[in-house]
Amino acid sequence: MTVYQATASAPVNIACIKYWGKRDTKLILPTNSSLSVTLDQDHLRSTTTSRADPSFQKDRLWLNGEEEEIKDGGRLATCIKEMKALRRELEDKDSSLPKISGYPVHICSRNNFPTAAGLASSASGFAALVASLAALYQLPTDASRLSLIARQGSGSACRSLFGGFVAWQMGEKPDGSDSYAVQVAPREHWPDIHALICVVSDDKKGTSSTSGMQRTVETSTLLQHRIKHVVPERMRAISEAILARDFDTFARITMQDSNQFHAVALDTDPPIFYMNDVSRAIIALIVEYNRVAVANGGKLKAAYTYDAGPNAVIYAPKENIKEIVELIVKYFPQADSFKDPFGLFSGKGVTGKVVDGFNEAVAKPFGVGAVKNLIHTRVGDGPRTLGAEETLLGENGLPK
């Protein structure tokens, strides 16, 4: 008997121009376009296996070993239904295709990074779900078409259907058919863009993106200014900077847009604070690091950005990452030694130091654990279809 099964992995993305606000909460249509960098799946990824089988009782899904409820009309159910509909279209056109669109599916998904790390996993998770169902159903791989479906799982997920530098065009149609992701440039265009993720410890439960952004839409007047007068020009300018490999402009816009996203969060009633003292200290360090570079006649060397939590993501050309790691470790001593996937320190430990001319008084040093972990990665590729040996489902159709 044929087993209809496929496994795919998908990357995390971190936005430079932030998506924050929906004009349609059911279809997940945004109030502004956004743009992100896809990170390397060799370091951070979600992997998903999907199987269609007539003997299954119903659609079921497991995430990191735990079964998740697929609520009727919910985001998971919508994505699965839309993918089955695409398969049915093919089957209707070509009667030689096995009619698997009517079979229930079992879906098993895993992240290779701990959920506790506070890294958004919904983007890579929904992208991997859609990519694995696309492989299972042997759909023609038009990533923009698939991004329309991933978008309905989680807005930011639509951008994880592509590698490199990715824009989510907000579109204007009420049915959402023009609200999808497009690639601005593949990773090969600018492979020098690396990222250092500073995982900041956080005990309090923050406001989720979904509910936070809705409150912002309802109460912030600053958001209206951002949507109308700021984002359109930034989208144009940052796309141009990416095409020209102009890091100075890329960095300036990325930091400005992170700042404005956190400003509209603060402008929400009641106000939302995602950054904490550690996040703000990291901003001060990057600002000072850039000041020294510019004072020496150079250009910006690093850009910080923050999502709906206190973690910092620092984008920089590869050649600067070593200095940045030294800088962060000086102010945020690490319990564990720096995992050095690119061999920057050639086996020698990180001592923690600042560049010449750096004003050390811009931040106070914190204790061990304030920054729990540093993850060095870089711009990466889009979803990958994996071989049968990578399957997460056992022969019985349950998680292995």
- Contact positions toward ligand DP6, by CB under 6 A? 15, 18-20, 28, 34, 120, 122, 154-156, 209-210, 307-308
Closest distance to ligand DP6 from the beta carbon of 362 (Å): 26
Closest distance to ligand DP6 from the beta carbon of 199 (Å): 16
Residue nearest ligand DP6 by beta-carbon distance: 155
Nearest-CA neighbor of 263 among 202, 216, 210, 200?
A: 216
Closest distance to ligand DP6 from the beta carbon of 193 (Å): 17
The alpha carbon of residue 192 and the mean position of all alpha carbons in its chain are separated, in whole angstroms, by: 19
Closest distance to ligand DP6 from the beta carbon of 251 (Å): 18
- CB neighbourhood size of 153 (10 A): 24
Rounded Cα distance between 119 and 123, Å, is 10
Residues in CB range of 257: below 8 A, 6 or more apart: 16, 17, 18, 231, 234, 305
- Going by the DSSP 8-state scheme, the letter that residue 226 receives in this structure is I
Closest distance to ligand DP6 from the beta carbon of 165 (Å): 14
Our CB check for ligand DP6 shows the closer of 28 and 198 to be 28
Closest distance to ligand DP6 from the beta carbon of 234 (Å): 13
Our CB check for ligand DP6 shows the closer of 216 and 290 to be 216
Our CB check for ligand DP6 shows the closer of 5 and 124 to be 124
Tally of CA atoms within 13 A in the half-sphere of 248 that contains its CB: 7
Rounded Cα distance between 293 and 308, Å, is 29
Query: Which region holds residue 208: left if phi is over 0, alpha if psi is between -120 and 50, else beta?
Result: beta
Our CB check for ligand DP6 shows the closer of 15 and 235 to be 15
Our CB check for ligand DP6 shows the closer of 46 and 334 to be 46
Closest distance to ligand DP6 from the beta carbon of 358 (Å): 30
Our CB check for ligand DP6 shows the closer of 18 and 23 to be 18
Q: Is 77 strand, coil or helix?
A: helix
User: How many angstroms separate the Cα of 16 from the Cα of each of 54, 101, 384?
Assistant: 44, 38, 24
Nearest-CA neighbor of 383 among 65, 1, 109, 127?
A: 127
Q: Is 145 strand, coil or helix?
A: helix
Our CB check for ligand DP6 shows the closer of 38 and 132 to be 38
Closest distance to ligand DP6 from the beta carbon of 185 (Å): 18
Our CB check for ligand DP6 shows the closer of 20 and 338 to be 20
CA angle 47, 52, 57 (to 5 degrees): 115
Rounded Cα distance between 59 and 70, Å, is 8
